[in-house]
Structure 1
């Protein structure tokens, strides 16, 4: 018997592999997920023995419907319900807003409220921050002024120069009596033992998001918290694309340049950022979080800038950010300006973009000429020819790496946040975006977009079609894995 196993070990292992692959394939088909994604996984399982199974169980399982991320404790607390009720807008107010400011973008407001109960907030002051230099200067000043709470939630925090400055500052504030809560993604962040020791000694409460330890590795690696949230005293909030590490800060004279966009918000919308931080914090901790009144102070802002916060991830019933982007594109009358570092749109968003361009809407798209992921870069390039054929004007950013995740529609709507325009952000990662319905802010973001165009080269359809066969092969190969990149 042992001799038979020894002589036919490879055949037996291969047979076992395909038995597991077939069972897994049946499970994937019965889950009724996106057909393109289903086909990608089936090809992976059948064409790549052993490797395909490992990759699927690491990256491919769908948790949106399984409710393992369900979070109820925070939402059920009286203070949260009271805060939400304070932001309720009756039909008469919504009608006046619709007539005067939103035009047909009211569909977005209703979509997010019905899918995620995300309130439209009116009294806000919004400031656009370009690159890490502006973001960290403002953030550090606000943290230094904190009196009660500092809540930070980041995909990447590293113990380098800028990360060390943040850690030193929050440790100082914690020692001064400010309650500091820090959430960081276990996979994205890199903190040294020295940093952990410093945080612990200062009394900072910190938790990693879904640590990846064997044997639980397979169920957690793929679902990461890609959000970047900061909330100070419940009064000031930050959201956007900028993580906490040195590469997000541009040093004069350096060869490296990182182009990014963030928002600083004061007013009612800060409460929504606070809520999502608390939902995540409650999920990470073993104890029930008690919501204190000072988490949601009465806003002192009289400025009017309409803001809605959209959050999505495996914990939500709907892909809210993707649906918001899809709806915004479909309601465009004049222009759509998109900046994204990773462009791997699903069929719905791709069709919306190309249809808008063919219908006469001015659609411009900025992508990085050189990305930080060759697989995602080539997968994204595989969509460019179809964009150009549809009339989308595509630009490659040449000054450095563009990491901003923004979209401006018709000079009345803009979104800035953490979500890339790809499958991972739409369906897998935990993301958060600010949706702004304000002509002044959208005008500013349009000007930023046009300024970025000065550091781009526009692609022409004829020359793009003549790119090398090697590049076309790379694009086609990597596009096969688009749903799992």
Structure 2
């Protein structure tokens, strides 16, 4: 991503939920500021809550060096305080209409797994091709919402395609949010699960699906589809782990298999169905992502991509431990009460 920013010639748009002002965040600040100084138009959109993770240091550093920034629904505002629960969770970088990046990765040195004190394992994707226009359009809409300013971003041109071969993937953007796009990702998942014939593979940091999604997964398992889910052994939110643990008996009762991935904390978000459908992006399997957040995912139809991601899934499963019914039911009374008490708050997590 930093190399793409350094090579930018005309325009950069960047949207991130968290933009830490650590050793890696400062590299991004420097690269964006240097691009601005050489005449590239740079727009950075930060979530009003997410920017608080770094005490707004990254926002102030960018502005100090002349980079245009905006906050999506600022937390400290009389007009938007009533929308404090609605967050922009999208992670987007588009450069010159030639390259785009999309996935679940925030800007933080924690993603440098080998050197981070609290490492986070994640998956992010570099995209080239005409679907970039759909990704940049989402940013344009978000920027307009935050600033009332309509920016112009270069459209994709086939002459700018930079790939080693002519292999292409059929893909489209699915955006979601508590606005006119409400529930699009949820319904996309439900309809994809209905179409599953052989296998469903899910990697998610938080697995707290609503009843409709859970029923869709159970229906797939009951008709003989292999359903496998990888979650972290320990996430970064302790009470979410308790809620997931409370749900394990209900999830596995129809043959669905859950694996707890060992450290580092796995923040990846991938859904694979059969050998052709892949769903990647920023969405978690919880109420916050599917009901309250503004999210962006990429729906892909391609056997080669699916095979590569399946290989990644299997490598993560190799580092994971399966959830066994006897262990779940053997929890102490205290833990069962604690887990089920927090499960009552599932619609708000």
TM exceeds 0.5?
A: yes
Aligned-residue offset at 1:142:
1.0
Q: CA deviation at 1:468?
A: 1.8
1:5-46: CA deviation from partner (whole Å, max 9, x where unpaired): xxxxxxxxxxxxxxxxxxxxxxxxxxxxxxxxxxxxxxxxxx
Deviates more, 1:158-167 or 1:211-220: 211-220
**Matching residue within 448, 452, 455 for 2:316:** 452
> Which is higher, the Rg of structure 1 or of structure 2?
1
The unaligned stretches of length 5 or more in structure 2 are none
Paired with 2:55 and 2:247, the residues of 1 have a C-alpha distance of 40
The partner residue of 2:88 within 225, 239, 248 is 225
Residue 349 (structure 1) aligned with residue 199 (structure 2): no
- Give the match for residue 65 of structure 2: 202
Q: TM-score, normalised by structure 2?
A: 0.94
Cα shift readout 1:415-472 (whole Å, capped 9, x = no counterpart): 1110000111111000011111110001000000000011101111122211222221
* Aligned-pair Cα RMSD in Å: 1.7
- SS of the residue aligned with 1:177? coil
SS at match of 2:228: strand
Any unmatched runs of 5+ in structure 1?
1-138
Q: Which residue of 1 aligns with 2:268?
A: 404
8 Å contact from structure 2 (residues 11, 42) kept in 1: yes
Does structure 2 retain, via aligned residues, the 8 Å contact 1:406–1:415? yes
Find the counterpart in structure 2 of residue 174 from structure 1. Answer: 36
Query: In the alignment, which of 283, 307, 326 is matched to residue 419 of structure 1?
Result: 283
TM-score when normalising by structure 1: 0.68
SS at match of 1:450: helix
**Greater CA drift, 465-474 or 347-356:** 465-474
Matched with 1:50 is none
1:340-388, Cα deviation, whole Å (9 max, x unpaired): 1111101111001111112111110111111111222212222211121
In the TM superposition, residue 410 of structure 1 has moved relative to its aligned partner by: 0.2
The CA distance in 2 between the partners of 1:426 and 1:474, in whole Å, is 25
Match status 1:322 vs 2:186: yes
Q: How many residues align?
A: 343
Q: Which residue of 1 aligns with 2:248?
A: 384
What corresponds to 1:211 in structure 2?
A: 74
SS in 1 for 2:93: strand
Q: Alignment partner for residue 10 of structure 2, among 145, 148, 157?
A: 148
Query: Any idea what SS the aligned residue of 1:421 has?
Result: coil
Secondary structure of 2:100's aligned partner? strand
Structure 2 residue aligned with 1:32: none
Which position in structure 1 is the counterpart of 2:152? 291
1: CA distance, partners of 2:297 / 2:200: 17
